[in-house]
Chain A
Amino acid sequence: MNRRHFLRFSAVAATSLYASQGFVTQPKDDQTVSEVAFAEKKPLITYSNRPPLLETPIEYFDRAVTPNELFFVRWHMPIIPTVKWIDGFHLSVQGEVENSLFLSMKNLKNDFTPVEITAVVQCGGNSRSAFHPTPVGIQWGNGAMGCAKFKGVRLKEILEKAKLTDNAKWLLFGGGDKPVKADIPDFQRELSIHELRDDIIVAYEQNGEDIPFLNGYPLRLIIPGYFADSWVKQLDSITVTKEYTPSFFMDVAYRMPKNGCRCEEPQKKVKESEPLSWMEVKSVIAKPKNHAKYKAGSNIQIKGVAFDGGSGIAKVEISLDGGASWKETNLGKELGKYAFRVFTYNLKPLNKGKLTIMARATNNKGQTQPFAHEIGWNHGGYAYNGIDTIELEIV
């Protein structure tokens, strides 16, 4: 059985859930920051405490590396074990391998070659609030993403030590958060061995520190270019299998319609779907804030970040006339193909009134962001990458 043939779960979908046509707008950006701060975090936009769901406010995307204390948080299950006794923590590698491994943090740090990669991690449902009617799922603004420098060990090196057997076809990754009842689907993620590449790492550091507890301490799977649902947190097991193992979070959640437009009608879910994987080119404007007021003639700097699934950013352009004409922005240093790239653009508006500012990124493959209204609706509200638009008031 493979992913494509595994459609049993999707029969659960309701048919008459939505009455209206689907359409896509700008995601919401008027959320407020909580008064309460979580462990190792500054106060962030907080949708839930159990499990914790924290979004990074948009103004912090004015830099290429998102500080750990501002990094968004997304767990699926209410029970997250706190790994306090780190010497007792192990990553197990089992199944279709010649040597089963049981690796302590010391093993990982001492017996393998350390590698570093700066990469964007973005929730598949980031910006979901752009989709109408409301797709089921957390109504994120643009801040369910971040970019960090991760340090760890190549997954390939671990698997070489374990020696895959000829039967090895799938890798099943297990993380620490657990459901409250045994029959609730647990969060797990699966990769085909054909998806293996050198830059997938098992990380123990984020931005030069231990990975923050809420971001998956002590180990997190880093799959640069892929959406975050594959970046298993508190990674504690890798099971190598011959057959694909069906699971709710692979086969029902985090799937996109598999057709040309990757879109569907709200009343009619497309039958064939595929798991989310590669991220598409996207950019967000961090500053100024939407609806900010400025005096005519003042100097304004537009600042934000752009990224894609790993080809790298070729250019980011700004439009001040609703998309009729575009001007190139200045790009900051490239920290890596998978990293945020900062863009800046200076302007001095002289005319009073409303000023609409749009930002559009193009990657090295020549792919460009669509306007929000050109994006097709999908039932999970996944993978929004519309041209970010803000409106200033010049007085």
Chain B
Amino acid sequence: MKKFFLVFALLGTLQAKTYTKDVVMPNMSFSIPVDKNIIVMQRNCQWCHSYGYIINMGKQNEAFWRHIVHKMRDTFKAPISEQDEKIVLEYLMKYFGKQD
């Protein structure tokens, strides 16, 4: 216990002297439409980036969105189950989809 205190005390003084920047990220969020499937989007698509990435693509066809979801799964290792993949695609097509 004593040891811990010592380390903390030391760090405390060092940091107090040398803190140079206080960076606070603003509180903002990019929201997407809420429906019964939002929970599937929440559990699959907001770990690594905001929904801003989805919104920024604009309306796209199904092949495009399927490519994105597969890229997230295969390249970026997002653990998306087959069941969830279907629902995510359905959701994306409903709100961010277009026909060719």
Interface string of A203-234 (1 = CB under 8 A from B): 00000001001000100000000000000000
Query: Which range contains the number of A residues in contact with the other chain?
Result: 35 or more
Q: Which B residues, 24 to 52, have Cβ-Cβ distances below 8 Å to chain A?
A: 24-30, 47-50, 52
Q: A12-B71, A48-B52, A184-B77 are in contact. Are A134 and B60 (CB under 8 A)?
A: yes
Tell me which residues across on chain A come within 8 A of B77, comparing CB atoms.
Answer: 181, 183-184
A7 to B67 alpha-carbon distance, docked (Å): 19
Q: Which residue of A lies closest to B29 (CB)?
A: A49
Q: Which residue of A lies closest to B70 (CB)?
A: A14
Is A37 interfacial (CB 8 A cutoff)? yes
CB distance from B89 to the nearest CB of A (A): 14
Interface string of B1-42 (1 = CB under 8 A from A): 000000000000011001111111111111000000000000
Q: Which residue of A lies closest to B52 (CB)?
A: A48
A48 touches B57 (CB 8 A): no
Q: Which A residues, 38 to 77, have Cβ-Cβ distances below 8 Å to chain B?
A: 38-39, 46-53, 77
Among the listed A12, A17, A53, which residue makes an inter-chain contact with B75, where contact means beta carbons less than 8 Å apart?
Answer: A12
Is B82 interfacial (CB 8 A cutoff)? no
Tell me which residues across on chain B come within 8 A of A38, comparing CB atoms.
Answer: 25-26
Tell me which residues across on chain A come within 8 A of B22, comparing CB atoms.
Answer: 84
A-B pairs with beta carbons under 8 A, tally: 109
A47 to B52 alpha-carbon distance, docked (Å): 5
A84 touches B21 (CB 8 A): yes
Tell me which residues across on chain B come within 8 A of A136, comparing CB atoms.
Answer: 64, 67-68, 71
Tell me which residues across on chain A come within 8 A of B47, comparing CB atoms.
Answer: 78, 180
A139 touches B76 (CB 8 A): no
Q: Which residue of A lies closest to B17 (CB)?
A: A87
Among the listed B20, B27, B30, B55, which residue makes an inter-chain contact with A84, where contact means beta carbons less than 8 Å apart?
Answer: B20
Q: A49-B29, A184-B77 are in contact. Are A85 and B58 (CB under 8 A)?
A: no
Q: Is the interface of A mostly helix, strand, loop or mixed?
A: loop
A309 to B15 alpha-carbon distance, docked (Å): 42
Q: Which residue of A lies closest to B53 (CB)?
A: A48
Tell me which residues across on chain A come within 8 A of B56, comparing CB atoms.
Answer: 47-48, 53, 138-139
Q: A38-B26, A49-B30 are in contact. Are A86 and B71 (CB under 8 A)?
A: no
A20 to B98 alpha-carbon distance, docked (Å): 14
Tell me which residues across on chain A come within 8 A of B23, comparing CB atoms.
Answer: 39, 82, 84, 213
Q: Which residue of A lies closest to B63 (CB)?
A: A17
B14 touches A20 (CB 8 A): no
B64 touches A36 (CB 8 A): no
A37 to B50 alpha-carbon distance, docked (Å): 17
Q: A134-B57, A134-B60 are in contact. Are A36 and B76 (CB under 8 A)?
A: no
A52 to B66 alpha-carbon distance, docked (Å): 25
Tell me which residues across on chain B come within 8 A of A366, comparing CB atoms.
Answer: none
Is A305 interfacial (CB 8 A cutoff)? no
A184 touches B26 (CB 8 A): no
A-B contact pairs, 28 of them (CB 8 A): A12-B75, A17-B67, A19-B61, A19-B63, A19-B100, A37-B26, A38-B26, A49-B30, A50-B25, A50-B50, A51-B49, A53-B52, A77-B48, A84-B19, A84-B23, A85-B15, A85-B18, A86-B18, A133-B64, A134-B57, A134-B64, A139-B58, A179-B48, A183-B77, A184-B48, A185-B76, A213-B21, A217-B21
Which B residues contact A (CB, under 8 angstroms)?
A: 14-15, 18-30, 47-50, 52-53, 55-58, 60-61, 63-64, 66-68, 70-71, 74-77, 100
Q: Top 10 A-B pairs ranked by shortest CB distance? A: A48-B52, A48-B50, A82-B23, A14-B67, A87-B18, A36-B26, A47-B56, A50-B50, A36-B28, A183-B77
Contacts A14-B66, A49-B26 known; list 13 others, CB within 8 Å: A36-B28, A39-B24, A48-B50, A77-B48, A78-B48, A85-B18, A133-B64, A134-B58, A134-B60, A136-B67, A138-B53, A185-B76, A210-B20
